[in-house]
Structure 1
Amino acid sequence: MLNIAIDVASALDYLHNHCQTPIIHRDLKPSNILLDDDMIACVGDFGLAKFLPEVAQTSSVGIKGSVGYIAPEYAMGSKASTQGDVYSYGILLLEMITGKGPTDGMFMDNLSLHHFAKLALPERVMEIVEPQLLIEDTEVTQGNGNHINTRNRMHECLILMVRIGVLCSSESPRERMCMKDVASKMHAIKNRYLGVRIHRDIQVRSQMLDGDLSYLSHY
């Protein structure tokens, strides 16, 4: 899940900041995220995409996108922007973590996926996480000699990811992050989670090369 979230963030960062002409996707949602044979996520379906200069020259582009993933300012007549894509990414990230889509039946009245996640920060985040993610977490930590530390890091990373999802899906575009920062922080979260495992693996390899088999006592 983390790798997919990073791939999508990196793709949007590329579209917004590294193309010769910035591109706004305008329809980011789960069905437009494709996985290749190596489980690398790719952003697809550019049917609603617009070049940023083209949007600036248009008086009104209308409401485009999918219900639940459209930035709220679009409904008030605002033009498409990179911040609209950031909103969609925030909703997508929260959906990946919680397993609940923005149009889930539980979201009515003043409760939305954004507020559902925000209310859980930080103490109750583990209560809203998709159970399958916790099962996968258990499978990973069981094979780790320092499983308590690794599990704690996993929990910390999930809290950080929920924070990013909440910030990105803020109602006000000014409160949202930019995709460059999102991609950077998502990579940092991955490094934080994998840090212990990477350090352990490097240490084990070094000991094996030196003929030191004492590392086996830790497993």
Structure 2
Amino acid sequence: LLDVVDAVSYLHNHPKGPVIHGDLKGVTNHCALQNNILIDLGEKRLIARVTDFGLAHIMESTLQDGMTTTSTAFQGNSRWMAFERMLPSEYGLRQAAAKSKASDVFELMRTFFQILTGRLPFHGKSDIEAMVAVVQRQNPERPTDHCRDLDDLRWNLMLQAWSDIREERPSLMEVQHDIAESLRLERLLLVCDI
């Protein structure tokens, strides 16, 4: 998870301007070819790599009226998509402005939901039902079966990241801190178990 957060952080802090991925997601329809997070097995440890920049764009310089422009318009998979990307006009946004660092954080946490639970967001719903749920500003339900990696702290971070108010979402730095702290605690628990 930390590799993915680090990759998105690199994009958001790119020297030529923030790059918004705009389509972060895991495997769709159980098809690895549609996955945009790949695992590199060639290193001494597994490394997650972010791919599929077909919908990514660089935020262009701010115009005189304070608006920014982008190089692409609305696209993506609704199961992972931030609410404001589905209906930007309801948020007072143009389609291009709906893609933001905050929408990447939203979609990143939907992806983490999938990774940690092994289920698509809105598992058990058709694509149309999932789209309707997103339009209605609904979030995936927390699995009722035990999911060791999805504790209360991480679930609450996901809910915060899925807020329909962009400004209330955690920053990518907060997500990085949460993941790094979780990894540190897991290592500590492993040492204590030995």
| In structure 2, distance between residues paired with 1:50 and 1:60 | 5
Letter in 1 for 2:102: Q
2:115 aligned partner: 96
Alignment of 1:116-131 (within 5 A): 116-117=141-142, 127=145, 129=147
Letter in 2 for 1:116: E
1:164 aligned partner: 157
| In structure 1, distance between residues paired with 2:83 and 2:137 | 12
Letter in 2 for 1:62: A
For the 8 Å contact 1:91–1:113, the answer to whether it is kept is no
| In structure 2, distance between residues paired with 1:9 and 1:60 | 23
State the 1:32 CA deviation: 0.1
Q: TM-score, normalised by structure 2?
A: 0.71
Is 1:181 the counterpart of 2:185 in the alignment?
no
1:139 aligned partner: none
For the 8 Å contact 1:89–1:165, the answer to whether it is kept is no
More helix by share: 1
- Name the SS of the counterpart of 1:114 in structure 2: coil
**199 and 86 in structure 1: CA distance in 2 versus 1, 3 angstrom threshold:** same
**186 and 113 in structure 1: CA distance in 2 versus 1, 3 angstrom threshold:** farther
For the 8 Å contact 2:110–2:121, the answer to whether it is kept is yes
**59 and 10 in structure 1: CA distance in 2 versus 1, 3 angstrom threshold:** closer
State the 1:106 CA deviation: 4.3
- Greater C-alpha Rg: 1
Give ranges in structure 2 of 5+ residues lacking alignment: 27-34
Identity of aligned residues (%): 26
| In structure 1, distance between residues paired with 2:71 and 2:18 | 19
2:73 aligned partner: 62
State the 1:183 CA deviation: 0.7
State the 1:95 CA deviation: 1.5
| In structure 1, distance between residues paired with 2:138 and 2:49 | 24
